Amino acid sequence: MDDAKPSRAKRARTPGTVRIVGAGPGDPELITVKALLRIQKADVILYDRLIDDRLLANAKKDALLVYCGKSPGAHAMPQQRIHRLLAMYAGRGKDVVRLKGGDPFIFGRGGEEALAMAERGIPYEIVPGITSALGSAAASDIPLTHRGASASVAFVTGSRCADPSSGIRWDLLAHGADTLVVYMGISHLDTIRGELLSHGKAEDTPAAIVEQGTTDEQRTFVGTLATIGDIALEMAVRNPALIVIGESVRVRARLSELSRRSGAGLGKDALESMNSYAII
């Protein structure tokens, strides 16, 4: 029966792989080697709003680039449609990259996308990235842990903090972690401050806002829990921005003072020299 047609099972296309990739916090040089390799080999890339164009320039010339970014109150593509597209392209045997800012498993819906692929029997891979909290804090000279000041950190989403059903326990967060990092919280800053203060967090607790962290447009503002709201209004802070609350914020001022005295910080010329060796 050499002329027999192959069975349906043999004719079925082998599915491609969906790679859920963290692109880091903004600076394209903070991409991991593994993430960069996945971008370079992808047939299809579904990318988010805050992905730097210099990363996309590493894609193959014939790669299909699909924008599916989300901004506050304006989603280019519903999450369920993203799931369907990932599954569709992988079902055609394509190597698919879902490129997300920061780390896909830290407020990035990477878990939802992995579950959606697993439910459909599609192979997937998770490639972690530097999450915004780590990158933005480091770029602002704010250690999230610091001996004698912070032995614990909590990452909190601020986008749903005004919703009573969100499950955010501000009563516990006010005293349960030394440093709080609030993602997507600028539009709810007054609510966040009010919750923490009403549950006993001191008004003079240091607080910082990092806007556009790790990028050329980064701005960092430091105050206290009592003053940071007014600072945000005065400086017209906009998303993307992170809020850091805790005693370790004080280290930034100390580092700045010591760097001015000793010249220990990297100057512009040194930074430009280092950047000239970028792999991107």
d(CA 188, CA 275): 36
In single-letter form, the type of residue at position 50 comes to L
Active site residue 48: yes
CA–CA separation, 202 and 142 (whole Å)? 20
What whole-number distance in Å separates Cα of residue 150 and Cα of residue 25? 23
- Residue 43's identity, in one-letter code, is D
Whether 212 contacts 185, CB under 8 Å? no
- Of all residues in the chain, what percent are helix, strand and coil, respectively (each to 5)? 40, 20, 40
Annotated catalytic residue, options 34, 70, 77, 141: 70
d(CA 66, CA 69): 9
Q: Taken in order 185, 31, 70, 96, is the CA torsion positive or negative?
A: negative
Rounded CA-CA distance 12/32 in Å is 34
Give me the catalytic one of 27, 48, 95, 103.
48
3-state secondary structure of 5: coil
70 classed as catalytic: yes
**Rounded-to-integer distance, Cα 45 and Cα 268, Å:** 34
Catalytic residue among 52, 100, 103, 184: 184
What are 168-171's contacts with CB under 8 Å, separation 24+? 170/195, 170/196, 170/198, 170/199, 171/199
Mark whether 184 is an active-site residue.
yes
Positions marked catalytic: 48, 70, 184
